[in-house]
Structure 1
């Protein structure tokens, strides 16, 4: 949803949490913490007991290192029923101050109070993993599952810990067992495919997602992941076809549209397809998301609308100055505009940012710089 739509929906709904939370999250993702805080504070004035809004407001305070403000929120929900939010906030504050022992002790008490609260369970595992205590994380999750063998999320988390511990075979075994027990839930398919992909077995990753789609044919998330697997396999036409299918059913899904535009701009050569993608990309305008600006700018470049392309990429770089791809794209645009000085500056910046992160991109940029 574009920002104008969010603000209109907030006003009409009188700051309903169902609109306020996704809007605040979008602002947080754009690092507009103060604006997110304003939205959440206004929502809490109307719905003072909303735990989900309170939790997100505490996260905003923590994002700004406002520990005193976060502690005030923790105290305000200390007596809330069926919630460990107060302990979770205080534990996060202690962790950020370097007191993982105190944080863990607090979370342990919270877990005993509410042993099925996944946020508390996840926070405990997070602390163990942050200190490279993978065995402790596994042991704790085993205890959780002994107490509640049907805890789907705890099983997923245990498999993720094994995957993070460089034990993909064990992780994949757990994911497969979870799927057998809960075939209608998509998370295990997603995690299993990601585990296979990380291990380099893209065929198995694709099969896992296709199996999930067979059981869950309306899952947008699984189709989106299938498109990603096609991209990893350099099957760009197949990825484009998947995104087209998703967008046919969900034309307002901007993430899918952005991904579609990005692939078309990178790999398509048919002028008709490129021009159609450029027309569709106009929906990305006004979202305020740098990656969307990059996609819109890059497809504008591909249809030779260089001034529009320059404007979009410049705005994207203003928001994220150290993105190698953004500078590479802007450098190519300046080459098309016969401005070698600006082209060289952006390409050199892109090269310095990509050398230790994306060797394929760095090689392409170095080759291009020789001709500038």
Structure 2
């Protein structure tokens, strides 16, 4: 993208903000574990600079010859962060931290590259206050830092400061319009329930993409959005387009597998997820595979997958990552419910987002505290975010407190929005709804 690219801020009626996922500057938002339908977020997460991990070897070789190159150390740190995103290996985060610290020792002043890289690392570790501080530091040095602008938006989103994120989006769009801006705008709009606007901006981003990586990234984002709204054929078309541009794109393969499961071919979905988790064993993917195993009667294999989540979270903690949200989401349904509640409460105290509200609501419900859960379930859906998992959770909680009319409405909306949002959750939502008929 060049400065001649049309700004999303000026694209037309109703466009006043920006987006969430990067494809050209090296930051990630810890997203994949945030929720089943979150962008790879919050994620479900996202990196600027497709193929950044391929730079690790050449950068290491360069630094052996030029060990005082502060810029190369900053680039190596960012590359490690991106490699961790792709592989799901949190052991790479200390390496990133060391490389970025080396860069800052060599050039302590005016080092926007290292500060923005450190911001991306903090976001990857789910330390969003630190990510915001370092992004602001990078922008104080270089107001046009693409990574700094992008991570600043991500941090504000992940802190639940959605209005501030829109303002940050406007600033970023004015300074560095392009695909990282377009995709972030789309996610902020999606969180506010403005799905049509989110889709429109993602389509503009895809149409303006010129590299294979950007084409794959934007097409995958469209596929993920279509999947979340239950438009499975459309999601499959977008994922196919993404994989044509980048056959190894794990996010596109993941959502293609989810569509495959939604269409009833669970064995093929299992086979694809098995291949995906071999390359990137992130918690959300491990849980998805475990639930597919359960849905196909392979309970022993399912338990193994859920156990791997605990192993991953242990490794992630050792890498300096905050994994309370990952723990809460996985353990509430497939682990220690007391631990799920502890983790959910801790994360909710740190940041108030729709994802942390939903996680706490569900952990409370699973711990037998539906009345306390209800306020959080309502808060999770208060922005208008159209998420079938959130609606299912709210409906189950409303049912537990005896509000059958509200429960019927929430469960019906969940299944109407995305009828196969989860092989186990959708089945349970139907069972609950059937039990409420006539009551």
TM-score normalized by the length of structure 1: 0.51
| Partner of residue 235 from structure 2, selected from 197, 222, 239 | 239
Tell whether 2:93 aligns with 1:36.
Answer: yes
Q: C-alpha offsets along residues 262-300 of structure 1, whole Å, 9 cap, x if unaligned?
A: 4544x332xxx3222222222223333212211222222
Partner of residue 49, structure 1: none
Contact between 1:74 and 1:86, CA under 8 Å: does it hold in 2? yes
Q: Per the alignment, in what secondary structure is the counterpart of residue 281 of structure 2?
A: coil
Aligned-partner Cα distance in 2 for 1:221–1:88 = 22
Q: C-alpha offsets along residues 146-195 of structure 1, whole Å, 9 cap, x if unaligned?
A: xxxxxxxxxxxxx9857258xx9xx59x96x899xx6xx32343244334
Offset of residue 312 of structure 1: 0.6
Partner of residue 226, structure 1: 222
Aligned-partner Cα distance in 2 for 1:214–1:90 = 32
Aligned-partner Cα distance in 1 for 2:78–2:148 = 23
Larger deviation, residues 242-251 vs 317-326: 317-326
Q: C-alpha offsets along residues 244-279 of structure 1, whole Å, 9 cap, x if unaligned?
A: 3323442322222233334544x332xxx3222222
Partner of residue 78, structure 1: 108
Partner of residue 189, structure 1: 182
Tell whether 2:208 aligns with 1:215.
Answer: yes
Q: Per the alignment, in what secondary structure is the counterpart of residue 287 of structure 2?
A: helix
Larger deviation, residues 308-317 vs 17-26: 17-26
Instruction: Report the count of equivalent residues.
Output: 267
CA RMSD of aligned residues (A): 5.6
Give unmatched runs, 5+ long, in structure 2. Answer: 1-51, 63-71, 120-126, 314-322, 336-362, 378-389, 401-427, 433-439
CA 1:164/1:275 → structure 2, altered by over 3 Å: closer, same or farther? same
Offset of residue 37 of structure 1: 2.6
Contact between 1:10 and 1:19, CA under 8 Å: does it hold in 2? yes
In the TM superposition, 1:306-325 aligns within 5 A as 306-318=299-311, 319=313, 323=327, 325=329
Q: Per the alignment, in what secondary structure is the counterpart of residue 282 of structure 1?
A: helix
Give unmatched runs, 5+ long, in structure 1. Answer: 1-5, 42-52, 59-71, 135-158, 332-344
For CA contacts below 8 A with separation 6 or more, give which structure has more relative contact order. Answer: 2
| Partner of residue 268 from structure 1, selected from 263, 270, 285 | 263
For the pair shown, which has the larger CA radius of gyration, 1 or 2? Answer: 1
Considering fraction of residues, name the structure with more helix.
1
Partner of residue 118, structure 1: 145
Contact between 1:298 and 1:309, CA under 8 Å: does it hold in 2? yes
Contact between 2:116 and 2:148, CA under 8 Å: does it hold in 1? no
In the TM superposition, 1:1-372 aligns within 5 A as 21-27=78-84, 32=90, 36-38=93-95, 41=98, 53-54=99-100, 58=101, 74-78=104-108, 83-84=111-112, 111=140, 116=143, 118=145, 161=164, 163-164=166-167, 185-216=178-209, 218=212, 219-265=215-261, 267-269=262-264, 273-286=265-278, 287-318=280-311, 319=313, 323=327, 325-327=329-331, 330=334, 348-349=366-367, 356-357=376-377, 358-364=390-396
Aligned-partner Cα distance in 2 for 1:186–1:15 = 31
CA 1:75/1:328 → structure 2, altered by over 3 Å: closer, same or farther? closer
Q: C-alpha offsets along residues 113-171 of structure 1, whole Å, 9 cap, x if unaligned?
A: x5555279759x89xx89xxx9xxxxxxxxxxxxxxxxxxxxxxxx9857258xx9xx5
Q: C-alpha offsets along residues 201-239 of structure 1, whole Å, 9 cap, x if unaligned?
A: 322322222233333375222212212331343323322
Contact between 1:206 and 1:229, CA under 8 Å: does it hold in 2? yes
TM-score normalized by the length of structure 2: 0.44
CA 1:300/1:346 → structure 2, altered by over 3 Å: closer, same or farther? farther
